[in-house]
Amino acid sequence: MDRLALDVAHLFAGGLVLVSFLLLYQDRMTGLVNTFAMHAVVVSLSVAWQAYIQEAPHLYITAAIALVVKAFVIPLALHRIIVRLGIHKTIEPVVGIGLTMLAGIGLVALSIMVMLPITAQAGTLAREDLAFALSVILLGLLMMVTRRNAVSQVIGFMSIENGLILAATGAKGMPLVVEISVAFSILVALIVIGIFLFRIRERFETVDIHLLHEHRGEQP
């Protein structure tokens, strides 16, 4: 495989890790959602490049779905939810941003140290791709752990999905899973929005009612 093709593949995969870091230090909802859209754009570029160098046209479909759904549809929906619920400022990190970033760097180092030695047989392309993919997955997990807010958790989860797509496309010739996992990520995203909408709306109502009852000295 020629040098340039590899370099571009690494550029996109490395770029995805970088955007994962960007996700970690967002302190505003809108910024977070926009950064996630960028995450999705980078992953779809990466998948499209893989489709080109592996000569696997079905991967273009994966790339297109990632682009349309994760870079446009879901961010737009999330923006609407955020505006409607008026929660655009509420990101409550459990751990400070600085500490989270340090932990993130540690996780990336860990995934590179774990993946590179053992994937020696897997071919250069898959090798670095897997190391980057594991970094993205671990950073997504870190984000889910360090954020209390539901929207941030969903975005953390979807960034994990992007990392998985990167890993699956890096594993050359892997059947089925890319298409199916993309279909599922759409389903997951739909459910997330559904649960999320119900959750927030009904919770606020109940919490309010509960408070009222308590003020009157009654249990609901």
Partner 1 sequence: MSDAAALAVAGILGVPALAAALLALLPDDRTAARLNALAALATLACALVLLAHRPPPGPFLIVDDLNVVFIVLGTFVGFTTSVFSASYIAHELEIGRLTPAYLRFYHAMYQTLMFAMNLALLSNNIGLMWVAVELATLTTVLMVGIYRTPAALEAAWKYFILGSVGIALALFGTILVYLAARASVGEGLDAMAWSVLVERAHGFDPALLNLAFVFLLLGYGTKVGLVPLHAWLPDAHAEGPTPISAVLSGLLLNVALFAVLRFKTIMSANPGALAPGPLMVSLGLLSVVFASFMLYRRQDIKRLFAYSSIEHMGIITFAFGMGGPLANFAGLLHMTLHSLTKSAIFYCVGHIAQVKGTQQMSGIRGLTVTHPLLGWGLVLGVVAIAGLPPMGIFMTEFLIITSSFAREPVLAVVLGLSILVALGALFLRLNTLAFGDPQGSAEPSKASFAPLFAHLVLVLAAGIWLPPALVAWFQHVARLLN
- The footprint of partner 1 (CB under 8 A) covers 114-115, 117-119, 121-122, 126, 130, 133-134, 137, 141, 144, 150, 153, 157, 160-161, 164, 167-168, 171-177, 180-181, 184, 187-188, 191-192, 195, 198-199, 202-203, 206-207
The residue (of 35 and 159) whose beta carbon lies closer to partner 1 is: 159
Please tell me the distance from the alpha carbon of residue 18 to that of residue 49, in angstroms, as a whole number: 18
Least gap, CB of 163 to partner 1 (angstroms): 8
Query: Between 98 and 175, whose beta carbon lies closer to partner 1?
Result: 175
Cβ closer to partner 1: 98 or 115?
115
Q: How far apart are CA 65 and CA 55, in angstroms?
A: 18
- Is 57 within 8 Å of 18 (Cβ atoms)? no
Residues 148 and 186: beta-carbon distance below 8 Å: no
Closer to partner 1 by Cβ: residue 78 or 98:
78
The conformational region for residue 183 under phi > 0 = left, psi -120 to 50 = alpha, else beta, is alpha
Q: How far is the CB of 171 from partner 1 (least distance, A)?
A: 5
Type and span of the H or E element at 117? helix 97-118
